[in-house]
Amino acid sequence: MAEIVRMPKLSDTMTEGVVAEWHKSVGDSIESGDLLADIETDKATMEFESFQEGVLLHIGVEKGQTAPVDSILAILGEKDEDVTALLKEDEEPQKSNKDEVSDTEIIPPKAEEVKPVEVSQPAPQPAPSFSIDQTANTTSFPPSTTVSNGIVKASPLAKKLADERGLNLNLIKGTGTDGRIVKRDIENFQGKVSFSGVESFVDEPVSQMRKVIAQRLAESKFSAPHFYLTVSIHMDNAMEVRTSINKSINPLKVSFNDLVVKAVAVSLKENPKVNASWYGDFIRYNEHVHIGVAVAVDEGLLVPVVRFADEKPLTQIGAEVKEFAQKAKDKKLQPEDWAGNTFTISNLGMFGIDEFTAIVNPPDSCILAVGGIQQVPVVKNGQVVPGNVMKATLSCDHRVVDGAVGSAFLNSFKNYLENPVLLLGKDSI
């Protein structure tokens, strides 16, 4: 007998999924445990195995399409079995719900029928292409054959010369066959600015990940009253300690981010009121320390979790973060990899960002935004000398954390990074 395979709920926040790939086709025999499809959730692309057996009779969601959780993903049954009745039966409850809603609607009185008047309009004319010769102060209209289907037509030698001279081929008028750009066009180009006269843009559908990021961060920003605390941290000692550690553990490496994670974890143990979560009717103060580390991917942002970070050595923290980053880029993170964070770190220092603020990642009460290390003038012993400074901004949910509590945490964090030997116990590396 035919059975429906429904769109699975692969994460707590998943409301709909996208079929990234089908591994079976209609007519294929399916065994329990066979890989049926890859499903893109709000967090990652996950493999979906069939729990049923039979022949694949119907595919309800084509590759690339989106469908809500519990909708028909596929139907399995015996070969050549008719599934029409099963599909119709599944549609009945939805139709019934729509009918109930329509029964309660107030139907407005029928407006007087108005006959539409046809108005003839001239057909739109394409915008002409033109170029301005800045040297001659003249305007000319080049042929439109230089660009075909969005691709500039140019000889290989012309492309090479344009690349060497840093010229944009879209700005050069071609004089070769069918408007092709050739060597002489590159050599004769003298500051002519060409305009295609055509506006262009690309619309990309919003991914499941980006939808959930937008929803969750909007809810956080507009429901949690944020306030921000920033400190400047002198990183000279941290830089020296890191260099010494890396020499002693070569070929392993400890990054500044590893030091940041460790310093945050130890500071949370000293300031447990920051290691808290808002749950509406109560505040949960976590005794364990699970640090979420924001990782940028093409579709948005993922936050895998380093568990019990205060108990782990620097090398283990670094290894886990690297592994998570790779799994995130490969869309291989599993639900357990991103669940359970009690605090979040967002580090954009490696992207050349000096300072920024981040939005609290629910249900955490705080998130730390870490900038890059900058060499700036600092005052030491009454003298202005070069120094290395890093800025960190703590975003706090004021429902849970007050200014004094957040400040105490930041002071602990600053102290550990400015005196990193305090982090280095027997099992700290």
22, β-bridge pairs: 37
Sheet with 35-40: strands ordered across:
45-49, 35-40, 16-22, 66-68
Is 398 marked active-site? yes
229, β-bridge pairs: 394
37, β-bridge pairs: 22, 48
Helix (H/G/I), strand (E/B), else coil: 196: coil
Provide the 8-state DSSP code for 114: -
CB 423: neighbour CB atoms within 10 A? 18
Helix axes 256-270, 403-418, angle to 10 degrees: 130
- Cα(39)–Cα(21) distance, integer angstroms: 7
How would you classify the pairing of strands 343-347 and 290-293?
parallel
- Cα(76)–Cα(74) distance, integer angstroms: 7
φ/ψ of residue 217, rounded to 5: -70, -35
- Cα(12)–Cα(223) distance, integer angstroms: 20
φ/ψ of residue 364, rounded to 5: -55, 155
CA distances from 249 to 242, 312, 315, 420 (A): 11, 16, 9, 17
Q: For Cα atoms 276, 13, 300, give the angle at the middle one, nearest 5 degrees.
A: 85
Instruction: Look at residues 67, 422, 104 and name the one whose alpha carbon lies nearest to residue 263.
Output: 422
Marked catalytic residue, from 23, 226, 288, 398? 398
- Cα(381)–Cα(397) distance, integer angstroms: 38
CA distances from 422 to 214, 256, 289, 330, 415 (A): 39, 15, 18, 36, 9
User: Which residues are CB-contacts of 419 (< 8 A; sequence separation ≥ 6)?
Assistant: 237
- Cα(412)–Cα(414) distance, integer angstroms: 5
Question: Which residues are annotated as catalytic?
Answer: 398
